[in-house]
Chains A and B, each alone.
Chain A
């Protein structure tokens, strides 16, 4: 009995390996989860895109639930998700959509907002990727869900689709208390 078990060992190990690989097929290896989730947003002060003389800071994210959307006019996927952001800005009254215009030129970014609408309450302008690095941004678009205390509840990597709010983001926030929660 003992010896035949020994001969079953390779098969057993392979079954484990196969299970792992099947699991791996479902993952996207390019998505890197953020260590910032569950932590307060990094402090920042940046000029706004709309008016270089005005500034915004992390304080503007407190007291309200925010979606911090990292975008740029050169980013194709950002254009793809733009319509969804417009829809969310109309339907989701409890949530402010805050833009972080990333590694972009102000005139290109403003033109895009003029032409396809502006879903953002305000845009922080970060052409040099100063704040982007602090937020751990590694590509656009990325979207952070931030609660009223300024805690990051969730990070969405890649564009927002029609169901992203309902399925990916909403479970992480309790809109009554306006604080993060674990999805059940």
Chain B
């Protein structure tokens, strides 16, 4: 009870300090000789209040204070302490408080760490960031207060959705948010830089680090979510083109694009308008995502409880932000007309523009695929579904030139370059096509498409491997990231081609056999834990080469809320994952068993880690 009260008032104090901060910032902006020390102190104070409020909520969860409505709705006394804590952000109110925490954290670090930029710029960035922060304070207090008081106080809470009770998902939201919400600072500083007409190469260097930070966290956040979906949702996929997944992919695509074109701005001082547009787009997409997820107009596995009032608030807020951005962009931004932009075909900047062109296409596919069904429903009330086949058809053909350009682009130099060692580039292309053909001809399906696709991925793979040797530590971060991407595409493709699966109904003692393996359901035992009872089925899997694996998938019957979940058993090895999951069939003695062998699963995760490694190395490069 006391924690909730403290949390609530801390939230109000945070809002007040935000307002005072904005007031002083405006004052300071008018006569800005030196930065008012009050600004940094107030920003710290605001962060402090939000941290207090956040811990207020965490502690309410820890002590299971059911007079707090959020705790009542999402917790239970029998839950392990770890999930009581992580339950704090496993719901709408708590996760919005996390939003606010990241927003205030980033502006504070921004003020602290930005030393070589003008005072006016720092202040203006703070003001824009405060507009967002205050908007979210009001949103939280008005529509989604995490500290609502319940009376009479319930004896017991409703519990956390069991599929959210998972270590990967426990840290997924904070990591994802650091990227997702972190992009707000890019938005604010882009607006500030535009207003002050200081979008230049040195500004690009300064904002690049912030872009990298957001990008790294967003990449890792998406990875964690994907790993979670793989083993917890229970059917062995890792990306479903689900609207909520798309919503996290869109800012990622925009950030990746920004990361590339910011280099052009840094080196050549061109593409100023484009960098600004991208900076604004990234955060706008994050906001759009929040709107889509929280308004409940999406049909998704991930949807929280939601209500229309919240959706409306975010929508209005989103439009205000877009309006401010457009106004600033068109009113203040003057494109440098004097030196019209001349580029050589063969140059790094041309290659990056090519990258941007394709990335924007991928972004528009995901955006249109996610949003179009909603529009159609509103306009003609006809419901359509846009699923994986749509995305595959529109993205895969474009991936082929994209991968090849990704291999050749980094071979170029800035301004003007000749393609050196053309012979080896062509030779590697030939080798890639040959290898792919030889591999793909073993499968009966889609020979041509798969050969071309796999060759282009192999091409990127070979060229990046070669670059590790020829370029050594020069551009190592870029090379690792591109290498990681080639590995990602290759792993996904081979995973798709080589996966095999079996669905069978088995009673105890029965077995299923095909040419590759034999599955025997040996016995079933029961286990009892604090917050769930489980049925564990013990399987013996004999592969055709005689290897025996024991696997024990589980059915968990959670007590609060009363939900049955299937816990897959996964044996991960370097080359392949064995994945087994059981389901109960009502009124039947048998289990529905799903067994899959999925090659290169581990490599999918490793390659995304490599991608983010590239980002991390790039972040620390200057400091080494």
Query: A and B, one complex?
Result: no
**Residues of A with Cβ closer than 8 Å to B?**
none
**Residues of B with Cβ closer than 8 Å to A?**
none
